[in-house]
Amino acid sequence: MSTPTTRPTADAAREAVQAAVRHVVPDADFDYVDDDTPLRGEFELDSLDFLGFAETLASRTGVPIAEADYPRLATMATCVAFLTGARDGT
């Protein structure tokens, strides 16, 4: 099967997630946020913040993100897995 979109590398995906969070929370500090920390809770993203995050992430990476994919944007680890197209075991 052909891949419809060019997938970012893991590093690029990670960078895009940080940038998309900072789009909403400009001073977001990732130094102490491990890969399994829920991003919504850590950065106090309300529903509108989360939409802004998801939309920014889609436009930065070129990876289409449908609403059904939102649960896969829970943590840095799940975001990277989703964006790079890795199987996340589900």
Partner 1 sequence: MVMAERFDYDLERQAFSWEQAAATLPRLPSGGLNIAHVALDAHVAAGHGDDVALICVDETGGTTRHTYADLSGATSRFAHLLRSLGVGPGDRVMSLLGRQVEQYVTALGTLKNRSVFSPLFSSFGPEPIRQRLSLGEAKVLVTTPSLYRRKVAAMRADLPHLEHVLLVGRPMEGTLDLTAELAAQPDTFEIPPTDPEDRALLHFTSGTTGTPKGAIHVHQAVLAHHVTGRYALDLHRGDIFWCTADPGWVTGTSYGIIAPLTHGVTLVTYAGEYDPRVWYGILAEQRVNVWYTAPTALRMLMRSGAALAQDYDLGALRHIASVGEALNPEVVVWGEEAYGLPIHDNWWQTETGAIMISNYRGAEVRPGSMGRPMPGIEAAVLVRGEDGRADRTDGKVTPAGVDEVGELALRAGWPSMFRGYLGEEERYRSCFADGFYLSGDLATVDADGYVWFVGRADDVIKSAGHLVGPFEVETALMEHPAVVEAGVIGKPDELAGEIVKAFVTLRSEWEPTEELRGELLAFGRKKLGGLAPKEIAFDQHLPHTRSGKVMRRLLKARELGLPEGDVSTLEGAES
Query: Which residues of the shown chain bind partner 1 in the complex (CB under 8 A)?
Result: 22, 25-27, 40, 44, 46-52, 67-68, 70-71
Here the tokens at position 81 are 């897995």
- In degrees, rounded to 5, the angle at the alpha carbon of residue 32 between the alpha carbons of residues 36 and 43 is 70
Output phi, psi for 36, to 5 deg: -105, 10
